[in-house]
Amino acid sequence: MTTKKIDATRFHGQELIDTPLLNKADAFSDSERTTFRLHGLLPPSVETIETQLERVKDAYQQKTTDLERHIYLRALQDTNETLFYRFMVENVTDLMPMVYTPVVGLGCQKFSEIYRRPRGLFISYPLRDSIDTILEAVSDQDVRVIVVTDGERILGLGDQGTGGMGIPIGKLSLYTACGGIAPEYTLPITLDVGTNNQERLDDPLYIGWRNRRITGDEYVAFVDAFVAAVKRKWPNVLLQFEDFAQNHATMFLERYRDQLCMFNDDVQGTASVVVGTVLSAVKVSGRPLSDQRVVVVGAGSAGCGIAEQMIQLMVEDGVDPKEARSRFYMIDREGLVLDTQQGLWPFQAKLAHTAADLAAWPAGAVPGKFSFLETVKNAKPTILIGVTGQPDIFTQEIIRTMAATVERPIVFPLSNPTNRCEAQPADVLAWTNGRAIIGTGSPFQPVPHDGKLYPIAQTNNAYIFPGLGLGILALGIPRVSDGMFMAASRALADANTGGDGSVPVLLPPLSDIRAVSRAIAIAVAKAAIKDGLVAAADDDTIAAKVDATMWNPEYRDYVAA
């Protein structure tokens, strides 16, 4: 066990116990209790972390609802971070849904109600001229990873205002639990620009700024000021944008990606994990990627991001760029996205079809438009992806129409939380007689069908961003390139063993997530070298740097500085 020097003049007594990053509770040794004036503040028994874990497990098991479990885990994190992460790492399959999707959605909706202790930074619009001063509040922290949200598009739940802070807190918990990034390097931030959610504004317990959302130039100037302040304070930080509205997500990605090391998880992270899972599904289907046709329902930033990365993947595999783009059909509220549609965002327009593209199709029921069902009938997709937040939009008719023209339909209803999923996996399997290859965004239990148990792959972004962050920190990568995400997708697919072949297994088990993150970190580092972002290094050096960066939740011996 390594020794960590603590400043006894600054951290001692109750202050040390009240510092979650340093607290060991009853595991402080007798010598530490003497040095840091802890005798009497703790009972006399000196415990191990293993003993503490037994107490934690017992308390956790007594919780009867998912919200109670979420609250308990957040309280444990705010009390003893090492113990919290040890519990997470050893039970990641069971605890990840409580810390993140799907339960974090409910946690965001009830954030003000269950609020106990501040964590991270809340930067509200009325304090827009004091952002530098606000960042100084954590001046003693070595911040290397920030997750920021403005709370406008939380999962499939919409505007949650300041309650959206649950997302950065949850994401950063996964950076540590899944990717081994030390918790003292992480900082969650919420940009409080108001909320248009009347229920939040009317809630007497709401902790955010009670104002309608700031929009337009004022809003953009505020985010610009935030990013500029971050660059001044932490020029080498990794900044992750999370759950911004679709038009803002893509705009800010293009606006800032060349200014600092940043990415948007909804656009790039979601695309990367979906592509990695699709690569596994394509192997199972027996049909090469170059022969796939894809319908994406939900033409927002996430859906278009998925399409663009899959197009890039096809091109890398030898498909002509124009041909690859023609294989994708984006569906929004008006049906198939066409170039004649008014109000398309630039990222949507690149994926819009022309009348000439569809000349062989019979006319739709509405002149000049094609519905979701009409698109499926005519395009004959082999892959169907949903990112709509609209439950049950993948109807029996849709799925059976698709399955009539493809032996192994690949169906990915990705919206979360669970009650926003486009289709239930059990229904999709039933409607396709067990032929469908399924991936979801939220966790589902394995589905019994025809005497077999089908595991349902959760295309959770936690398979991608922790490893990406680990690689960035390990090698000091200054920017995030598209090639890094593509490398992460391929590394994820390579990490999948495929099970015994009796049923489709598309992703490695969550219990292996740290090993997967390590493999992705190494792949990301090699991609960064290939893209000229960092100096060349051999494989052994890269692996050694990644391993040296990974933090493990173990108590350190403390000595006075």
Instruction: Please list, in sequence order, all residues whose beta carbon lies within 8 angstroms of the beta carbon of residue 429, skipping any fewer than 6 positions away.
Output: 436, 438, 447, 449, 454
Cβ burial, residue 72 (10 Å; 0-12/13-18/19+): middle
Q: Tokens 């994990």 sit at which residue?
A: 273
Q: Does residue 369 have an active-site annotation?
A: no
Q: Is residue 14 part of a domain?
A: no
Beta strands 294-297 and 328-332 are parallel
In this structure, the dihedral spanned by the alpha carbons of residues 486, 492, 493 and 495, taken in order and rounded to 10 degrees, is 140
Binding-site residue positions = 153, 242-243, 266, 416, 460
Q: Is residue 155 part of a domain?
A: yes
- Please state whether the peptide bond connecting residue 102 to the residue before it is cis, i.e. omega within 30 degrees of 0: yes
Selecting among 85, 100, 329, 463, the annotated active-site residue is: 100
Same domain, 232 and 323: no
Q: Is residue 242 part of a domain?
A: yes
Same domain, 185 and 64: yes
Q: Is residue 306 part of a domain?
A: yes
* CATH code of residue 65: 3.40.50.10380
Instruction: Say how many Å lie between the first and final Cα of the chain, rounded.
Output: 17
Q: Tell me, what's the pLDDT at 3? A: 78
Which residues span the domain enclosing 101? 48-259
pLDDT tops 60 at residue 159:
yes
Q: Is residue 239 part of a domain?
A: yes
Same domain, 442 and 487: no
Q: What is the pLDDT of residues 86-95, one digit of tens each?
A: 999 999 999 9
* CATH code of residue 366: 3.40.50.720
Binding-site residue positions for a divalent metal cation = 242-243, 266
Instruction: Give the count of alpha carbons within 13 A of 222, CB side only.
Output: 20
Report the C-alpha gap between 436 and 428 in whole angstroms: 7
Q: Tokens 């390990």 sit at which residue?
A: 474
Q: Is residue 41 part of a domain?
A: no
Tell me how many degrees the CA angle 235-82-496 measures, rounded to the nearest 5: 80
Give the residue from 422, 443, 459 where a domain finishes.
Answer: 459
Report the C-alpha gap between 229 and 225 in whole angstroms: 6
Report the C-alpha gap between 458 and 94 in whole angstroms: 13
| Confidence bin at 5 (pLDDT 50/70/90) | confident
| Confidence bin at 2 (pLDDT 50/70/90) | low
Q: Is residue 176 part of a domain?
A: yes
Give the residue from 232, 259, 286 where a domain finishes.
Answer: 259
Same domain, 189 and 333: no
pLDDT tops 90 at residue 305:
yes
| Confidence bin at 474 (pLDDT 50/70/90) | very high
Q: What is the pLDDT of residues 526-558, one digit of tens each?
A: 999 999 999 999 999 999 999 999 999 999 999
Same domain, 253 and 274: no
Q: Does residue 57 have an active-site annotation?
A: no
| Confidence bin at 447 (pLDDT 50/70/90) | very high
Give the residue from 459, 478, 508 where a domain finishes.
Answer: 459
Same domain, 389 and 534: no
Q: Three-state SS string across 471-528, please?
A: HHHHHCCCCCCHHHHHHHHHHHHHHCCCCCCCCCCCCCCHHHHHHHHHHHHHHHHHHH
Q: What is the pLDDT of residues 178-229, one digit of tens each?
A: 999 999 999 999 999 999 999 999 999 999 999 999 999 999 999 999 999 9
Distance from the Cα of residue 382 to its chain's centroid: 26
**Angle formed by the axes of helices 81-90 and 92-99, nearest 10°:** 120
Q: Is residue 33 part of a domain?
A: no
Same domain, 79 and 162: yes
Structural domains of the chain, count: 3
| Confidence bin at 511 (pLDDT 50/70/90) | very high
Same domain, 317 and 452: yes
Same domain, 69 and 212: yes
Residue 421, both tokens:
């999923």
Q: Tell me, what's the pLDDT at 234? A: 97
Distance from the Cα of residue 141 to its chain's centroid: 24
Binding-site residue positions for (S)-malate = 153, 416, 460
Selecting among 24, 110, 171, 545, the annotated active-site residue is: 171
Same domain, 177 and 236: yes
Same domain, 124 and 248: yes
